[in-house]
Chains A and B, each alone.
Chain A
Amino acid sequence: MTPAKLDLSPLRRAAAWRPAEYAFWLLPVAAFFLFPKSLALLSQIAITALFCLSLDLILGYAGIVSLGHAAFFGLGAYAAGLMAKYGWGDPLLGLAGAAVMAAAAGFLTSFLVLRGTDLTRLMVTLGVSMMLYEAANKLTDFTGGVDGLQGVDIQPVLGMFSFDLYGKTAYWYSVAILFVMFWLARRLVHSPFGLSLRGIRQNVGRMPAIGAPVNARLVAAYTIGAAYAGIAGALLTQTTQFVSLDVMAFSRSAELLLILVLGGTGSLYGALIGTMVFMAAHHFLSDINPQYWQFWLGAALVLIVLFARDGIMGLLRKLSTRARTSS
Chain B
Amino acid sequence: MTPVLQTRNLSKRFGGFFASKDVSLSIEPGARHALIGPNGAGKTTLINLLTGFLEPSAGEVFLKGEDVTRLAQHQRVKRGLVRTFQINRLFAEMTVLESVTLSVCERLGLGWSWWRPVGDHTAAIDEAAELLATLRLLDVAHEQTRSLAYGRQRMIEIALALAARPQVLLLDEPAAGVPTDESRELFETIAQLPRDVTIVLIEHDMDLVFRFAERISVLVGGALLTEDVPEVIAKDRRVREVYLGEALDG
Contacts and interface: CB of A to CB of B under 8 A. Distances in A.
A127 interface: no
A298 interface: no
Interface residues of B, number: 54
B147 to A, nearest CB: 13
Given A206-B90, A209-B83, A210-B102, A6 B119 contact: no
Nearest to B97: A11
B77 A192 contact: no
A192 B116 CA distance: 8
Contacts of A10: 95, 97, 142
Nearest to A14: B119
Contacts of B77: 208-211
B126 A196 contact: no
A167 interface: no
Interface residues on A, range: 35 or more
Interface stretch (A197-205, A247-255, A277-285): A197-205
B34 interface: no
A198 B98 CA distance: 11
B51 interface: yes
A212 to B, nearest CB: 5
B74 A192 contact: no
Interface in B36-94: 51-53, 72-74, 77-78, 82-83, 85, 89-94
A6 B89 contact: no
B14 interface: no
B160 interface: yes
Nearest to A16: B119
Contacts, number: 146
Interface stretch (A79-87, A152-160, A183-191): A183-191
A19 to B, nearest CB: 18
B106 interface: yes
A192 B105 contact: yes
B37 to A, nearest CB: 22
B225 interface: no
Contacts of B92: 202-203
B242 interface: no
Contacts of A220: 112
Given A10-B142, A209-B83, A198 B94 contact: yes
- Residue from A1, A193, A210 whose CB has the most chain B CB atoms within 10 Å: A210
Contact of A15 (B91, B114, B117, B142): B117
A68 interface: no
A6 B135 CA distance: 14
A327 interface: no
Interface in A28-43: none
A192 B129 CA distance: 16
Question: Which DSSP category, helix, strand, loop or mixed, fits chain A's interface?
Answer: helix
B101 interface: yes
Interface string A1-15: 111011010111111
B107 interface: yes
Contact of B129 (A3, A15, A205): A3
A202 B90 CA distance: 8
A217 B164 CA distance: 18
B163 to A, nearest CB: 7
Contact of B72 (A1, A2, A202, A208): A208
B125 interface: yes
B115 interface: yes
A151 interface: no
Max chain A Cβ within 10 angstroms of own Cβ: one of B82, B101, B102, B103: B102
A3 B97 CA distance: 12
Contacts of A6: 129, 132-133, 138, 141
Nearest to B142: A10
A210 B156 CA distance: 13
Given A11-B95, A209-B51, A211-B164, 6 more contacts: A3-B138, A6-B132, A6-B141, A191-B113, A209-B82, A210-B103
Interface of A: 1-3, 5-6, 8, 10-15, 187-188, 190-196, 198-199, 202-203, 205-214, 217, 220
Interface of B: 51-53, 72-74, 77-78, 82-83, 85, 89-95, 97-98, 101-103, 105-107, 110-122, 124-126, 129-130, 132-133, 136, 138, 141-142, 160-161, 163-164
Of all A-B residue pairs in the complex, the 6 with the closest CB atoms, nearest first, are A15-B117, A208-B73, A211-B77, A3-B129, A206-B89, A193-B114
28 contacts: A2-B133, A6-B138, A6-B141, A11-B97, A12-B122, A13-B119, A191-B118, A192-B113, A192-B118, A194-B118, A195-B101, A195-B105, A198-B91, A198-B94, A199-B94, A199-B102, A202-B93, A206-B160, A208-B53, A209-B53, A209-B82, A209-B89, A210-B82, A210-B160, A210-B161, A211-B78, A211-B164, A214-B74
